[in-house]
């Protein structure tokens, strides 16, 4: 089980959320070449390390948020304030996903 820190609901099981993908700034489609647009749509960095990614809290607050996760350890190193779609992060916040597997409190569905 991987706990994802929703900025509105708190830590939630990853199955309660939807992984949207890597967070990239969207280029203006009227100003980029078709190749640059295709790169934005389909090419991912997929690093083994820190990755800024977008999540959707589908079973809770139904809000999108951006979090910074280490893809090697699944540790979330920080998360944005609620409603912040720009991915701005608080560098003082440190969240570590716990690996408790059988501690479901039944609050989620
Ligand atoms: Zn939420």
CATH number at 52 reads 3.30.2270.10
What distance in angstroms lies between residue 9's CA and the mean position of ligand 1's atoms? 4
Give residue 80's pLDDT.
58
Give residue 109's pLDDT.
42
- Other C-beta atoms closer than 10 Å to the C-beta of 27 total 13
Domain for residue 104, yes or no? no
Domain for residue 95, yes or no? no
Give residue 26's pLDDT.
85
Domain for residue 29, yes or no? yes
What distance in angstroms lies between residue 87's CA and the mean position of ligand 1's atoms? 15
Give residue 59's pLDDT.
95
The boundaries of the domain holding residue 14 are 3-78
Domain for residue 84, yes or no? no
Q: Which residues of the chain have pLDDT under 50?
A: 83-109
> In 3D, which of 52, 47, 58 has the Cα closest to residue 21?
52
What's 60's DSSP letter? Answer: T
What distance in angstroms lies between residue 33's CA and the mean position of ligand 1's atoms? 36
Alpha-carbon span 88 to 100, nearest angstrom: 29
Total-model pTM: 0.68
């Amino acid at each position: 089980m991987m706990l994802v820190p929703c900025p509105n609901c708190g830590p939630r099981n990853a199955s309660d959320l939807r992984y949207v993908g890597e967070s990239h700034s969207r280029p203006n489609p009227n100003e980029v070449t078709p190749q640059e647009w295709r790169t934005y749509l389909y090419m991912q960095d997929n690093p083994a390390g820190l990755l800024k990614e977008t999540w959707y809290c589908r079973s809770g607050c139904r809000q999108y948020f951006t979090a910074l996760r280490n893809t090697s350890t699944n540790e979330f190193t920080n998360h944005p304030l609620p409603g912040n779609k720009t991915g701005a992060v608080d560098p003082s916040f440190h969240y570590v996903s716990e690996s408790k597997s059988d501690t479901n409190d039944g609050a989620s569905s």
